[in-house]
Amino acid sequence: MFEEGSRLKQIHGEDEIYDFTLGNPHLPPPAQFVDRLRELVNGSQEGIHRYMPNSGWPEVRDKIAADLARRSDLPWTGSHVVMTVGAGGALNIALKTLLNAGDEVIILSPYFVEYLFYIQNHGGVAVDCPTTEDFCPDPEMLLSKVTQRTRAVIINSPNNPTGRVYSEQELKSFCDALKIASHRIGHPIYLITDEPYRKITYDGTQCPEIATLYEDTIVITSHSKDLGLAGDRIGYLAVHPSATDQKELLEGCSFCNRILGFVNAPSLLQLAVADCQDATVDLTEYQLNRATLTQHLEHLGFQFVQPQGAFFLFPRTPEADDVQFIEEAMKERILVVPGTGFGRSGHFRLSFAVPHRVVERSLPAWERLAARCPSLGRDSERTHD
């Protein structure tokens, strides 16, 4: 879709293509980060470009741990943290550490598609665990998916592609089921919580601290979204202070950080983000885009769960064939992604991490697209009245 978008922009001009395919944050980093990075670059360079421990600068890890402790009231220390090349790097080193060939990792669908490949990278088997119709984690479904080979579960909230933020009660029920499952199979099932969007929420929504509900938790995050640093590849992994085999797990992650080729997370970026754990990009434009698109699409008859976080909308397609719907959308120069790629057919994902002018210019195209769909025809006719 990215390549098709580039091709269409060359033909029709960039302003005539409404590209909602990529979750590629366009907002600039907050001034707090820019000022800190400038200070580092213009300051003394002594020592900051040399090799370091695989897990990252100790003073950086201490600051990350202090933020985790403040948020959760758990006794995190720098020894529980590994600085990583984004969340993708963190997920890969965690899975490399945990998995033997044939071990299973449960992923909740709809899911971020690259989970499949990260698991395959390390000989694992991805097991699809569908969420409910409103994308809530399903404890009973989880219990039905656990086997003796289950090693980990990946959970993602705020969720890509749905924008769903799991409530504390939903997470508690899910974690309680995970405890039952771990006891049943006789070994811990690690809960990997992938949290790059945790600071991007709306309408006062708060993300619960999953680590307070389940001890065998590995927290993974990236600053690609909250600080707008997608191209800079900086994040971290943190193992719960009371996790089973905590010491071996951390040693494994530190070792895998090196042998998978990352070696260590970028030095300057580590030092810069360490002092920006309370910062985030200005969410005003995301909020405006979300409001404009949800109101317009709802008026046209599209059905969706209101996104509480991240910058995605995951509506149902008017017809069952989501790939066919994507092709119809392209005729109106709207680029979105079929839900089939996220493990949930009959939906499509659009990213509103775009300039607001793109959203505004796209509204007539959405009306024309709705008019193409018989099941939306009545609503689209009202729009044209």
β-strands 125-130, 104-109 pairing: parallel
Position 377 scores a pLDDT of 52
Position 381 scores a pLDDT of 41
Q: By the 8 A CB rule, do 112 and 90 touch?
A: no
Position 5 scores a pLDDT of 73
Q: By the 8 A CB rule, do 19 and 5 touch?
A: yes
Q: By the 8 A CB rule, do 376 and 300 touch?
A: yes
Of 169, 186, 178, 173, nearest in space to 215 by CA = 178
Q: How far apart are CA 376 and CA 38, in angstroms?
A: 52
Q: Which residues are CB-contacts of 241 (< 8 A; sequence separation ≥ 6)?
A: 74, 75, 76, 77, 80
Position 379 scores a pLDDT of 43
Q: By the 8 A CB rule, do 8 and 337 touch?
A: no
State the CB neighbour count (10 A cutoff) for residue 321.
14
Question: Which tokens in the block code for residue 25?
Answer: 């944050």
Q: How far apart are CA 275 and CA 271, in angstroms?
A: 7
Of 341, 362, 319, nearest in space to 109 by CA = 341
Q: How far apart are CA 72 and CA 52, in angstroms?
A: 28
* 3-state secondary structure at position 313: strand
86, amino acid identity: G
Position 77 scores a pLDDT of 98
Please report the sign of the dihedral spanned by the C-alpha atoms of residue 21, residue 27, residue 30, residue 31. Answer: positive
User: What is the distance of C-alpha 224 from the center of its chain?
Assistant: 10
Q: How far apart are CA 373 and CA 61, in angstroms?
A: 53
Q: By the 8 A CB rule, do 257 and 52 touch?
A: no
Q: By the 8 A CB rule, do 238 and 216 touch?
A: no
CA within 13 Å, CB half, 51: 5
Q: How far is CA 244 from CA 54, 64, 164, 175, 240, in A?
A: 22, 21, 29, 16, 9
Give the residue carrying structure tokens 């976080």.
Answer: 309
* 3-state secondary structure at position 298: helix
Q: Which residues are CB-contacts of 148 (< 8 A; sequence separation ≥ 6)?
A: 185
What domains does the chain contain, in order, with CATH numbers? 2-27+282-384 (3.90.1150.10), 31-273 (3.40.640.10)
DSSP string for residues in 82-145: EEESHHHHHHHHHHHHHPPTT-EEEEEES--THHHHHHHHTT-EEEEEE--TT----HHHHHHH
List per-block mean pLDDT (blocks of 10 residues) for the chain, which spans 385 residues. 74 85 93 97 95 97 98 97 98 98 98 98 98 98 98 98 98 98 98 98 97 98 97 98 97 98 97 97 98 97 97 96 94 95 97 97 97 69 36
Say what the pTM is: 0.95
Q: By the 8 A CB rule, do 105 and 117 touch?
A: no
